[in-house]
Structure 1
Amino acid sequence: MMERVTNVDDFISELGAGIFKEKLAHILSQSAMGTILHGDKAKKGKVSIDFTFKRVGDNDQVIISHKLSHITPTKRGKQSEEDVTETPMFVGKGGVLTINQPKEDLSGQFTLQEEGIRSVK
């Protein structure tokens, strides 16, 4: 039996309503280009992602604080920036994170169900 895990592609795409993914793409490219143009053994580019989880009341929901930071080499030093935003998500069976509330199955456990698929009896 396969263990249910969070779909990382969906997770990243949902953070900040999709804006986090765009910011990450931009920062990765910016840091890589700065490293090629101005990097050496002492001047290196760096991109960091930090996630912090905080439970929402007694619900099966968390607020995920996502911090994106970077250091990019420049001609005369370095440029750095830090961006922190938050996204609420639901925690389903096995800890699976999703933006949509999981549906409850017959055993009372929460499971994720794909939209548009219905069981036939």
Structure 2
Amino acid sequence: MKATDTNDFFNSLNAGVFAQQVGQALSNVAAGVIDHGKAGEVTIKLKLKQIGQSNQVAVSHTLDFSQPTKRGKLREDSTLDTPLYLTPQGLTLFQNDPTAQLFKSEDTPVAAR
């Protein structure tokens, strides 16, 4: 089995919204660190659980961040689940390649003229 493509993995979580949230959190926390000279924190937590008896897993992804402010900190966290398939290519959103040819030309029921 291949290792999971981490770029594809994070872009699959919550239809790409999770990756955008991580990017925004990193930028906001870094800005707070620079502006106020205090430490900030960004935490990503992933939990995987098998769905039934299938080759699917439910990935529970949590983004938790603490952005320093002038008089304290701004904290936010969010948790959602995304179902993914375990395939020979690692964890993927689709079990099969959705762009692959569905039928081969030799399998067509009508012969070409």
Q: Same fold (TM over 0.5)?
A: yes
CA shift for structure 1 position 114: 7.6
| 1:1-121 to 2 correspondences below 5 Å | 4-39=2-37, 43-93=38-88, 96-102=90-96, 115-116=99-100
Structure 2 CA distance for aligned equivalents of residues 78 and 33 of structure 1? 12
CA shift for structure 1 position 79: 1.0
Equivalent residue number for residue 108 of structure 2: none
- Unmatched runs of 5 consecutive residues or more in structure 1: 103-112
Structure 1 CA distance for aligned equivalents of residues 81 and 3 of structure 2? 21
Structure 2 CA distance for aligned equivalents of residues 30 and 117 of structure 1? 43
> How many pairs were matched up?
105
Percent identity at matched positions?
A: 36
Q: Which has the higher contact order (CA 8 A, sep 6+)?
A: 2
Greater Rg by CA: 2
Quote the RMSD (CA, aligned, Å): 2.0
Equivalent residue number for residue 110 of structure 2: none
Structure 2 CA distance for aligned equivalents of residues 72 and 19 of structure 1? 20
- Unmatched runs of 5 consecutive residues or more in structure 2: 105-113
Taking structure 1 as the reference length, the TM-score comes to 0.78
